């Protein structure tokens, strides 16, 4: 009986966008908030300039990459049908997810938590962003 009820529920094949869009918005917003990338901002977090630079451009690139990777699942315009390679979107989504995980790991480490329990209990926003990135890193564009 439960199987019949579940079979009647339509499948929503675009549900990955419900995670993809807010995650991308947060990363793009955080990346843009670091511009212009200057040494004084890096020093305020006791980070080398190069780390701050990679964080800013990495956040912006990961957010755009997750959105663009999702759009590259189909040739949306007829002009792209000839040169469409679906693996490019999948690789872009996975790379962006890995980038999100790397950045969030760094953000969590900069906070210098005393234990893993502190991270899970008090830094749950960054953990959620880390898990979102991990989802796209492992899943890619497969639905």
Predicted TM-score (pTM) of this structure:
0.88
Rounded mean pLDDT of the chain?
A: 92
What six digits make up the tokens of 27? 């990363």
What six digits make up the tokens of 19? 């995670």
pLDDT > 90 fraction of the chain, expressed in percent and rounded: 72
Asked if 92 contacts 136 with a C-beta cutoff of 8 angstroms, the reply is no
Decide if pLDDT at 85 tops 80.
Answer: no
Measured between alpha carbons, how far is 62 from 95 in angstroms, rounded to an integer?
8
Q: Which residues contact 71 (CB under 8 A, 6 or more apart)?
A: 89
Average of per-residue pLDDT across 77-98: 84
Beta strands in 71-131 (DSSP E): none
pLDDT at position 80 is 67
- How many CB atoms lie under 10 A from the CB of residue 53? 16
pLDDT at position 77 is 66
């Amino acid at each position: 009986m439960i199987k019949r009820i579940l079979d009647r529920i339509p499948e929503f094949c675009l549900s990955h966008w419900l995670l993809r869009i807010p995650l991308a918005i947060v990363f793009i917003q955080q990346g843009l908030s670091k511009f212009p990338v200057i040494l004084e901002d890096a020093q305020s977090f006791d980070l080398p300039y190069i780390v701050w630079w990679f964080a800013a451009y990495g956040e912006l690139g990961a957010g755009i990459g997750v959105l663009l990777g999702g759009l590259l699942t189909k040739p949306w315009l007829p002009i792209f049908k000839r040169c469409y390679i679906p693996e490019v979107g999948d690789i872009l989504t996975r790379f962006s997810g890995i980038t999100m995980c790397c950045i969030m790991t760094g953000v969590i480490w900069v906070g210098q938590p005393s234990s893993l329990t502190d991270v899970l209990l008090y830094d749950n926003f960054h953990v959620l962003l880390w898990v979102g990135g991990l989802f796209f890193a492992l899943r890619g564009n497969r639905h």
